[in-house]
Amino acid sequence: MARSDRRPFSIHVVFFFLELLLLVAAAANVLSASASNNTIRPRNELRKYKRIRAHLKTLNRPSLKTIQSPDGDVIDCVPFHLQPAFDHPRLKGLKPMVPEISSNMSSSTPHRPYADPPERPRGHEASDLADGEDIIQLWRTSGETCPEGTVPIRRTKEEDILRASSVRRFGRKPAARTRRVSEGSGHEHAVGYAVGDQYYGAKASLSVWAPRVASSSEFSLSQIWVISGSFSSDLNTIEAGWQVSPQLYGDNSPRFFTYWTTDAYQATGCYNLLCSGFIQTSNKIAIGAAISPISTYNGRQFDISLLIWKDPSHGHWWLEFGSGVLVGYWPSSLFSHLAGHATMVQYGGEIFNTRPSGSHTATQMGNGHHAGEGFGRAAYFRNLQVVDWDNSLIPVTNLRVLADHPNCYDVQARINRVWGSYFYFGGPGRSVRCP
């Protein structure tokens, strides 16, 4: 009997130790998987950090001088031939077009500027701003400028890239960014446009404001578009204006910007100088830098004049800012359809609506007020012109206006002897009228 009592006890002990071993093995597997995940995570972070550092090295070039802006921007005065534009495969060996020769650049310098200014459109006059004051950028308030032979480039910081969805998409727009392809994409417009002819440029003066942007992933802008192509994968655009984009710039200041694409914003083009392509020639304007001063509601109004046109002598698309400053140009070799002419020009505002909490965004367009409030209370575009086949600036006579969501943002066109064709536009976004 004693032996039979001990046998069940031995079996229970064996089962106990087997269960214990299984538990230990399971715990070991969990710890091993956790350790593996903890190892993978730092590796991924390290790879991302290396990509960011490599991209910063590509964007931020050696400079001859650095200027600190009051808003925290750092402006690098980069030698003309070292700017990012010349990394583009289609621009290798290109003979640049620059209106003045820098005295401190030798004839052996690669991409040496030479005196060959573009042919400005007939009927063009140097534009003054509202109230006759010159508009400037904040980095210029100290009186410092970049020396001749250099171009001012806003320095990109690590935190700028970290705010983007990815290193690859930094400085690029998502698809569906023009009025004709914006339905359902979150992009909303209130614009005036001309279509039905061959266009070789566009000009307008646009009031500068600081609209409130409700989310860091949203933006508000006011710009000119020069467009050609079929609003699908082969869309070509050239764009310039001002924008408030916390994700791109890290603040809520209105900033002068440019953009271009040849494939409907898929893989080509970028904002400002954040990829190769646009060739800057001016040492006075920093693309991407804040504009100052700005308009005030029921107060003084400030606007900037922008002209984009195709130089008939060489075929490149030039950009002029303010009263005669040639900022630079997009070489015609970048484009397919715009290598010839544009089929549409468009002026106006755009916002991006992420529909927070399922309702319309409260991001403002223009200055956050509807077009019907008029001068001093609503944003405007004035003196709308296009460049025709003969390189002549002519008033827009067939202006059409359209707002994607007029209860949220609207537009009203008018005409008079001083401002020619013009319009007011904008709105507050989410409101009783725009739920």
Q: Which residues are catalytic?
A: 239, 350
C-alpha distance from residue 347 to each of 15, 203, 207 (Å): 81, 9, 12
Could you give the dihedral angle defined by the CA atoms of residues 134, 137, 139 and 140, in that order, rounded to the nearest 10 degrees? -10
Residue 18, H or E segment? helix 2-59
Residue 310 near residue 97 (C-beta atoms within 8 A): no
Residue 309 near residue 200 (C-beta atoms within 8 A): yes
Q: Which two tokens stand for residue 238?
A: 């050239």
The helix/strand/coil state of 129 is coil
- Whole-angstrom Cα distance, residue 109 to residue 399? 47
Q: Nearest-CA neighbor of 177 among 404, 366, 369, 401?
A: 404
The helix/strand/coil state of 97 is coil
- Whole-angstrom Cα distance, residue 346 to residue 338? 15
Q: Nearest-CA neighbor of 185 among 354, 411, 405, 359?
A: 354
Residue in this structure with the two tokens 């006075």, named with its chain if needed: 284
Find all residues with CB under 8 Å of 113, minimum gap 6, and list them: 80, 96, 98, 100, 101, 102, 105, 149, 281
